[in-house]
Structure 1
């Protein structure tokens, strides 16, 4: 089994996570490896990972050359995983390591994907709960791929699923949607996420908005269609305003027209800018894909295979 753990500035959580994860898998009667993927940390995280790889041959560390983001860090770990079953989870202990044996049990029963569903997160405020709930409603309304509300990147997948996942090489990744889209025999497991063991979440508002946008843009063309239909509605309203202006002029009750002109300009200008932005998002993603750059590159690989080595993917 391979356990893939993306980390970014998690020096306060690394050793605790390692202890808890090792305790959870030692009695499973299977070989295992813990793959930490350092996503360009600026604290002591790489140093701690280096020590762990020297102390325990089950630990590997992939050090990315810079910060590529959570989803690409997970992808890097999955690309390098060698297990028959691959578990992905965060290293802040909000994905409880003690659940790993339960995921493995369902895998042994024949499930190819065992997906955890976060029913609640201790210590999270009302606003974040509500925005998360409405985001998944919006995403499922726009996308043909259903994603379970509360879905997380804490899951187990079979090596057959991993082989299929590796065929998907787009840069703007929404792995929750990708795994659901791949199919195979799936099982869901509910859990309540505990508070972070230490430190603060690295998901800023900007990162969360970008992640949410990736989820919508990656699996839906509906925003483009909304743009088209809104354009039609806008054109229809413009015709009505023109007819109203002509009628007012014909009966001699026309006002100077300043208000009407300003309203029309504001409405049409706002619609145009908004939909140009939507089209621009899609064009920008096309631009990124056609360059065919590697998804990530490593500055070092520690543990498991001896000497550090340079790798690009």
Structure 2
């Protein structure tokens, strides 16, 4: 059950990360407000403008609704959605917080069911997409492979087809706030903190305005962030692969020595030698690259730079 000991705060906070949503933010607001009013609990909204290049923050300033507190966080530049979600949760004051995108692919009409489950005792309510019809075949294949890999090697299981759309009790939000790592993979952090969890399914709608900035290249980088944040399996795999290659090389070298002792040495053999050197060199470079990715993450973390920088914070 929600902790009624927490006082002086709205019941619900709606955290909305925004990036270049000038065209669609008014439509989102028009859908959100009646849904939240129908729930019958006090609520606030926290908009996070993640360095938009259009007039998103100006459009946000025009949004009003009777009895609703609106907090606008304007970043100094684009820090990424993970940082925007973090900032929104850092400044959310509700007994529970809902994270939702403003492009209307996350239907606000799902929030009342999330609230019902929260009131019944769930501390986290996940929004799970029913299908991937809105994604390309390549992106769907890539996402499925990632979730399959993550389920096998991650420290904690990552629920499949579950994104950022979720409701979290203030205890969960507080726990997330204690995790201040700079390189953030929110899906992993959400799963890592645990708590009692329920799932509601929703159908992802097509974007009504604009286009997604999350292309396949960014999706690949996102997957790498997740893998290097929540498992050391790649390092272990290269240890095993290196051991195997060393064993094969030892066996091959022994065969060459024995052959030379028994039958003498011949000059021919440079093509096979060159091919072997190229193969081993490639293996070493890939291994160094994997190691470098982890070292790079350590390097970024030890500088202790802030997750985000706020240019302006407005309460209305």
Partner Cα separation in structure 1 for residue 67 and residue 222 of structure 2: 34
Contact 1:238 1:264 in 2 (8 A): no
Contact 1:122 1:194 in 2 (8 A): no
Which structure 2 residues correspond to residues 199-278 of structure 1 after superposition, within 5 A?
199-250=210-261, 251-252=263-264, 254=266, 256-278=268-290
Query: How far did 1:232 drift?
Result: 0.4
Classify the secondary structure of the residue corresponding to 1:52: coil
Identify the residue that residue 309 of structure 1 maps to in structure 2.
Answer: none
Classify the secondary structure of the residue corresponding to 1:281: helix
Classify the secondary structure of the residue corresponding to 1:299: strand
Partner Cα separation in structure 1 for residue 129 and residue 68 of structure 2: 32
Which structure 2 residues correspond to residues 144-159 of structure 1 after superposition, within 5 A?
144-159=155-170
Partner Cα separation in structure 2 for residue 192 and residue 255 of structure 1: 68
Partner Cα separation in structure 1 for residue 152 and residue 246 of structure 2: 26
Contact 1:6 1:70 in 2 (8 A): yes
Contact 1:57 1:303 in 2 (8 A): no
Partner Cα separation in structure 1 for residue 46 and residue 255 of structure 2: 68
Q: Do structure 1's residue 290 and structure 2's residue 299 form an aligned pair? A: no
Which structure 2 residues correspond to residues 1-16 of structure 1 after superposition, within 5 A?
1-16=12-27
Partner Cα separation in structure 1 for residue 244 and residue 130 of structure 2: 40
Q: How many residues align?
A: 304
Partner Cα separation in structure 1 for residue 220 and residue 97 of structure 2: 28
TM-score, with structure 1 as normaliser: 0.93
Contact 1:53 1:302 in 2 (8 A): no
Among 161, 186, 189, the residue aligned to 2:172: 161
Classify the secondary structure of the residue corresponding to 1:249: helix
Contact 2:105 2:207 in 1 (8 A): yes
Among 116, 120, 137, the residue aligned to 1:126: 137
Query: How far did 1:170 drift?
Result: 0.4
Distance 1:56 1:11, change over 3 A: farther
Classify the secondary structure of the residue corresponding to 1:30: coil
Q: Do structure 1's residue 136 and structure 2's residue 147 form an aligned pair? A: yes
Structure 1 window deviating more from structure 2 (121-130 vs 175-184): it is: 121-130
Query: How far did 1:11 drift?
Result: 1.1
TM-score, with structure 2 as normaliser: 0.92
**Any unmatched runs of 5+ in structure 2?**
1-11
Query: How far did 1:53 drift?
Result: 5.7
Q: Deviations over 1:97-129 (max 9, x none)?
A: 110101101001010000111231333222211
Partner Cα separation in structure 2 for residue 234 and residue 200 of structure 1: 46
Among 309, 312, 315, the residue aligned to 1:303: 315
Partner Cα separation in structure 2 for residue 234 and residue 69 of structure 1: 40
Q: Deviations over 1:73-106 (max 9, x none)?
A: 1000000000001000111111111101011010
**Any unmatched runs of 5+ in structure 1?**
305-313
Classify the secondary structure of the residue corresponding to 2:212: coil
Identify the residue that residue 85 of structure 2 maps to in structure 1.
Answer: 74
